[in-house]
Amino acid sequence: MEKILTDKVKEAVFSLYNRQVDEKQIQLQKTSKDFAGDITLVVFPFLGFSKKKPEETGKEIGNYLQENVKEITGFNTISGFLNLVMDNKYWTDLFGKMVNDRDFGFKKKGSLNKTILVEFSSPNTNKPLHLGHIRNNLIGYALSKIFEANGYRVKKVNIVNDRGIHICKSMLAWQKWGEGITPEKAGKKGDKLVGDFYVKFEQEYKKQIQFLIEKGANKDKAVRSAPLMKEAHKMLRRWEDGEQEIIDLWNRMNSWVYKGFDKTYKSLGVSFDKIYYESDTYKTGREIVLSALEKEILFKKEDGSVWVDLSEEGLDEKVLLRSDGTTVYMTQDLGTAFQRYNDYEFFRQIYVVGNEQNYHFQVLVLLLDKIGYKWAKDIYHLSYGMVELPEGKMKSREGTVVDADDLISEMIDTARDMSEELGKLDTYSEKQKEDIFRIIGLGALKYFILKVDPRKNMIFNPKESIDFNGNTGPFIQYTYARIKSVIRKATEKNIKIPDKTDVRFEPNKKEIELIKLLAEFPKIVQDADFQMTPAVIANYCYELTKEFNQFYHDFSILNAEDDETRIFRLQLSEVTGRIIEKGMGLLGIEVPERM
């Protein structure tokens, strides 16, 4: 419709004022609720052509459109806005299509024949996942779903930073103070156990620094020369030399961590198509750097370290290989990117990584381009904002880091408490109930995080932020459950809901409003792709739900005036439920049959 209108407006302006208009000047928008009409054309841009007042220009164009577009039955102009009134038949026909089309709003999977790679999660193996990772995972997973719904082939990938000094710290602490403990013996998730040893290292290390300072060393020197740190570096070198004892320990402790991560991923409901490991990709990175060095794209300093000079691009010099030949983060990322292009020949690669790494990705893209990879331009850093607590940033030192597992189970506990207080599920088995609590608790958490524009920082108050009323996941889930309940009741009464419709009567205003909102779904799915933000899906689901709740409140579905209306309302409910389910599905949020 929008396309037809755009063309017709062009025609109108040409026939009325003999001028060609640029499509960009044709602004069509939803008519604001406070005015009569369905679609609004902003006429200000045409005043220069018409040389007439806004109202008059609007009327002239309106007349032309009404005569030439059969779906338009009327119009009004208010200052520079031409509000077009569409025939109800236009909306009910559209509704007919939705009833019939189970894939309404989605393009066929892979129909574009283009692959998008989405990297998200990217944990270090020395600590458990926390709230920041949750935001990262949810954004990455939702985006993957959104791309898929828009016809792309999607590969979800994870890059695990499994090597480096931070893991050595945990390993060393375990050797020194672990007394052979394992996750099984400790009764603890492996990622948590390894994280504990990381903390232990930092504590002991700090004591040593303090001791050295008291003995008269300056701070810098103390930081560098503390025996524990020296030992950790020694361990890193032994790891890089491939010493069996170290490699075995490394494998063992990492496997604990992976088991723990898997559990967290599973309870969050995210998954990956492929997991890359930096212990693997850093070698590729080094090769890339060395060969670029040969081609003199990079240069070597006297101490043997390898650098790239990005001063022409307005940046600095950046180190790529240390003087001892070991690699840095950037080197690994070069290797990872290269391997991924080899694996998938992606059309686009999205890195879901926090905005504190903006500079890093700017360098990465420039560097790949300089080295000569034509796909460098296809890399996009989805730079999401920090999650902060009411009192500021999460700080591990102050113990304010919100653990992912803890948060998830707290959410489920809250859902359990609320549900049991309401007592609506008393007839269900424990297992059924637990499943519903899980769906609601996670729904609350995921929706709360995803409704915020990823690019913005957000504040998360673990105690107060998460509601189950208002603009929340459970609110939307509740509406879905009510719809399902009505449909069950209809089935019990032997009312069949056909999957075709031909509405011959005039629906009421609220019903038309609902249809209009439902009709927006395909555009919303596209917008989420273009803007790369799940937030537009979340906001849409909320708006749709609110609209449905008003309809549900104002009109009876099962006790409608006549059969025709009853069937129509059931279909309207069914389609709404389906769109809610699909929309929430794009966010990775499940919807319960009852709650």
Least Cβ distance, residue 459 to RNA (angstroms)? 4
Are β-strands 387-388 and 317-321 bridged in parallel, bridged antiparallel, or unpaired? Answer: unpaired
As measured in angstroms, the least distance from the Cβ of 3 to RNA is 13
- 5-34 binders of RNA (CB under 7 A): 27-29, 31-32, 34
End-to-end CA distance of the chain: 39
CA distances from 528 to 26, 157, 540 (A): 22, 20, 10
State yes or no: residue 218 binds RNA (CB under 7 A).
no
Q: Which range of residues in 401-409, 445-453, 495-503, 583-591 is near RNA by CB under 7 A?
A: 445-453
Q: Is 556 in the site for RNA (CB under 7 A)?
A: yes
Report, in angstroms and rounded to the nearest whole number, the Rg of the chain calculated over CA atoms.
Answer: 30
Q: For RNA, which residue of 471, 510, 522, 526 counts as binding (CB under 7 A)?
A: 471
CA distance 109 to 34: 39
Minimum distance from residue 338 beta carbon to RNA (Å):
17
Q: Which is nearer to RNA, 37 or 183 (CB)?
A: 37
Interaction between residue 396 and RNA (CB under 7 A): no
Based on the shown chain and the rule CB under 7 A, indicate whether residue 223 belongs to the binding site for RNA. Answer: no
Nearer to RNA (CB atom), residue 72 or residue 415: 415
Q: Which of 158, 281, 349, 472 binds RNA (CB under 7 A)?
A: 472
How many Cα atoms within 13 Å fall on the side-chain side of residue 322?
A: 6
Which residues in 397-426 contact RNA (CB under 7 A)? 415, 418-419, 422, 424-425
251 part of the interface to RNA, by CB under 7 A: no
Q: How far is the CB of 142 from RNA (least distance, A)?
A: 14
- 595 part of the interface to RNA, by CB under 7 A: yes
Contact between 489 and RNA (CB under 7 A)?
yes
How big is the chain, counted in residues? 595
Footprint of RNA on 312-351 (CB under 7 A)? 316, 319, 322-324, 327-329, 332
Query: For RNA, what does the binding mask look like between residues 121 and 160, x meaning CB under 7 A?
Result: ---x------------------------------------
Q: How many CB atoms lie within 10 A of CB 28?
A: 16
Residue of 87, 202, 406, 467 interacting with RNA (CB under 7 A): 467
Range 455-487 burial, b when 16+ CB lie within 10 A, else e: eeebebeeeeebebeebbbbbbbbbbbbbbebb
- Spell out the residues 6+ positions from residue 344 whose beta carbon is closer than 8 angstroms to its own: 115, 117, 155
Sole binder of RNA in the list 287, 389, 549, 585 (CB under 7 A): 549
Residues 153-182 touching RNA, rule: CB under 7 A, are 161, 164-166
Task: Please state, in angstroms and rounded to a whole number, the distance separating the CA atoms of residues 518 and 533.
Answer: 20
Helix (H), strand (E), coil (C) string for 18-67: CCCCCHHHCCEEECCCCCCCCEEEECHHHHHHHCCCHHHHHHHHHHHHHH
Residue 465 within binding range of RNA, rule CB under 7 A? yes
Least CB distance to RNA at residue 408 (A): 16
Residue of the chain from 80, 462, 522, 585 that contacts RNA (CB under 7 A): 80
Separation of alpha carbons 393 and 375, rounded Å: 36
Query: Is 476 in contact with 447 (CB distance < 8 Å)?
Result: yes
Nearer to RNA, 181 or 223 (CB): 223
Under the criterion CB under 7 A, does residue 495 sit at the interface with RNA? no
User: Residue 108 has what DSSP assignment?
Assistant: P
- Binding mask of the shown chain, residues 373 to 392, with x at each position contacting RNA by CB under 7 A: -------------x---x-x
Interacting span for RNA (CB under 7 A) from 9-17, 78-86, 170-178, 202-210? 78-86
- Which backbone phi and psi does 330 adopt, to 5 degrees? -60, -40
From the CB of 11, what's the least distance to RNA, in Å?
Answer: 19
Give yes or no for residue 358 binding RNA (CB under 7 A): yes
Minimum CB–partner distance for residue 36 and RNA (Å): 9
Q: Is 539 in the site for RNA (CB under 7 A)?
A: yes
**Residue 106's closest CA among 150, 145, 139?**
150
Determine if 81 is a binding residue for RNA (CB under 7 A).
yes
Residue 583 as a binder of RNA (CB under 7 A): the answer is no
229 binds RNA (CB under 7 A): no
Nearest C-alpha neighbor of 400 from the set 442, 449, 462, 354: 462
Binding status of residue 247 toward RNA by CB under 7 A: no
**C-alpha–C-alpha distance, residues 99 and 107, integer Å:** 17
Measured between alpha carbons, how far is residue 377 from residues 267, 362, 365, 370 in Å? Answer: 35, 11, 7, 11
Answer yes or no whether residue 453 interacts with RNA by CB under 7 A: yes
* Separation of alpha carbons 191 and 125, rounded Å: 7
Binding of residue 94 to RNA (CB under 7 A) = no
From residue 559 to residue 578, the character string flagging contacts with RNA as x (rule: CB under 7 A) and all else as - is: x-------------------
Total residues contacting RNA by CB under 7 A comes to 94
Structure token digits, residue 122: 């990217």
